[in-house]
Amino acid sequence: MENTINKNIARRLLQVLVTMIVQGVILFAAAGTLHWIWAWMFMLLGIVILIINFFMLPREVIEERGRLKKDAKKWDKILNAVNVIPTLLLYLFSGLDYRFGWTGSVNIIINIIGLVFVFSGSILFTWSMVSNRFFSTLVRLQYDRHHEVATKGPYRIIRHPGYVGYMMMSIGTPIALGTLWGLPFSGFTCLLLLIRTALEDDTLKKELKGYAEYTERVKYRLIPLIW
């Protein structure tokens, strides 16, 4: 068992590192230069977030996120696969925007606001993972881990705080990079997350014991008093 856990943790760390490398390669290749200060600031922030998560996240959460999930919901696998497209296009068009100056000059305050938005979203995302030991990369009922409803931390306020954090990071990324051309792809990612939230919520109501009762106490999925 210990070897399996170690393998899953190693797989997750490799996944995150590869993702960061791909981000950097697309951004700087599209920009046609390595002399892009805000892209470096964005990448540096990603490293800081990675370090925070490494020390803050429970071992079992990292292990779960690196686990091969054959029992994940098919619709979630499709949504995640589709989301790869706008995510990659966000980096591509942000880099092209920097190269060709489509957006034009941006006040440094805008870039800083974007970085703050990314970091704030990451903190909410991390808090959600710390508060929910069943936080996974794909929707699956974790009967093998005696799946229970998460009710602590941000889950006392909204039912899917991790998605809010992810949306904040997605929207903050092009702002931090100083590009308007990345925002439509952030918007598409947010739309996919809205769909995912609704489908996951319905799935948990039907299949996870105690979740329907939880929704009576915590009435909003993403935004208090709205939805």
User: Token digits for 96?
Assistant: 């092209």
Number of domains in the chain: 1
In a domain, 224, yes or no: no
Residue 70 within any structural domain of the chain: yes
Identify the band that residue 16 occupies on the pLDDT scale cut at 50, 70 and 90: very high
**Global pTM value:** 0.92
Instruction: Please tell me the distance from the alpha carbon of residue 135 to that of residue 64, in angstroms, as a whole number.
Output: 8
The mean per-residue pLDDT over the stretch 54-60 comes to 91
For 174-195, the pLDDT digits (tens) are 999 999 999 999 999 999 999 9
Q: What angle do CA 166, 118, 88 make, to 5 degrees?
A: 65
Residue 222 lies in a domain: no
Q: What is the domain extent for residue 66?
A: 2-217
pLDDT bracket for residue 3 (50, 70, 90): low
Q: For residues 221 and 65, give the distance between their C-alpha atoms in angstroms, rounded to a whole number.
A: 22
Query: How deeply is 165 buried, as exposed, middle or buried, from its count of CB atoms within 10 A (0-12, 13-18, 19+)?
Result: buried
| Sign of CA pseudo-dihedral 107, 109, 113, 119 | positive
The reply to whether 174 falls in a domain is yes
In a domain, 63, yes or no: yes
pLDDT at 226: 83
Express each pLDDT in 156-174 by its tens digit: 999 999 999 999 999 999 9
Q: Which domain CATH number covers 194?
A: 1.20.120.1630
